[in-house]
Amino acid sequence: MSASSLDLAVLGLLKEGPMHGYELRKRLAFTLGPLYAVSYGSLYPCLKRLRKDGLVASAEHPEPKRRRSKRVVETKPATSRRKQVYEITPSGEALFFEQLELGAIYDTDRFQTRFAFFRYLPGDERIRLLEHRKAYLEEKLAEFKDTLRATRERIDAYSRSLIDHGVAATEQDIAWLAGLIDQEKAAAQDGGRSIRGS
């Protein structure tokens, strides 16, 4: 069974507790970073598919959220759109761990999605993935700088600026990874604790 980045993220968030779609969307943007936001047109079909595959279970929200001292009208229609609360199933958990271990080093989105749930991986696995990702970015960067150096043609100033910025951004990524690796290694020696407490 295959799973997209979104599948993984949804399962990972639902591990922390039942949630409905709308809330899930907010948590997604919040968990994965400033510019990541998934649309409902993507999220709801995803949830539907996960439910169909038995990876999540859903129940209509039962609680009519009664306001104090106000008579609650029972007999909610129940026929129409009610809040669907999703929770992860055991096979959903199994898929989550299976997918989390795959790594997915070459794609920024996939890597970051996994990174957001790193606490579910053992320390050595975390280090392995971080180093693998870092090596990949370094390789890409070196490759690119070679091309740049080998180029005889004069390059347009805007294109040049774009490339320089891309290089700087990638270097910042690499530095971030290097810092994380250091922390992980320190934590590993420090009794196997994760960076959580640092």
Partner DNA sequence: TCTGCCATGTAAGCCGTTACATGATTTT
Partner DNA sequence: AAAATCATGTAACGGCTTACATGGCAGA
Helices (H) and strands (E) in the chain, counts: 7, 3
The residue written with tokens 């805007």 in the block is: 158
Which residue in the set 17, 34, 35, 41 belongs to the binding site for DNA (CB under 7 A)? 41
Which residue in the set 6, 8, 14, 180 belongs to the binding site for its own copies (CB under 8 A)? 180
Q: Which long-range contacts (CB under 8 A, 24 or more apart) does 123-132 make?
A: 123/184, 123/187, 123/188, 123/192, 123/194, 124/188, 125/101, 126/184, 127/181, 127/184, 127/185, 127/188, 129/103, 129/105, 130/177, 130/180, 130/181, 130/184, 131/181, 132/103, 132/105
Is residue 32 within the footprint of DNA (CB under 7 A)? no
Residue 28 to residue 31: CA distance in whole angstroms: 5
Kindly indicate which of the ranges 38-46, 55-63, 94-102, 151-159 contains the residues binding its own copies, using the contact rule CB under 8 A.
151-159
Shortest spacing between CB 169 and DNA, in angstroms: 18
Kindly indicate which of the ranges 81-89, 114-122, 136-144, 154-162 contains the residues binding DNA, using the contact rule CB under 7 A.
81-89
Which residue in the set 165, 186, 190, 192 belongs to the binding site for its own copies (CB under 8 A)? 165
The site partner of 128 among its own copies, DNA, none (C-beta below 5 to 8 Å per kind) is: none
Shortest spacing between CB 95 and its own copies, in angstroms: 20
Q: What strands lie across the sheet with 19-20, from one edge to the other?
A: 19-20, 84-88, 56-60
Residue (of 14, 36, 35) closest to 24 by Cα position: 14
Q: Which is nearer to DNA, 74 or 156 (CB)?
A: 74
Which residue in the set 35, 71, 74, 77 belongs to the binding site for DNA (CB under 7 A)? 77
The contact set with its own copies (CB under 8 A) reads 30-36, 108, 112, 115-119, 140-141, 144, 147-148, 151, 156-159, 161-163, 165-170, 172-173, 176, 180, 194-196, 198
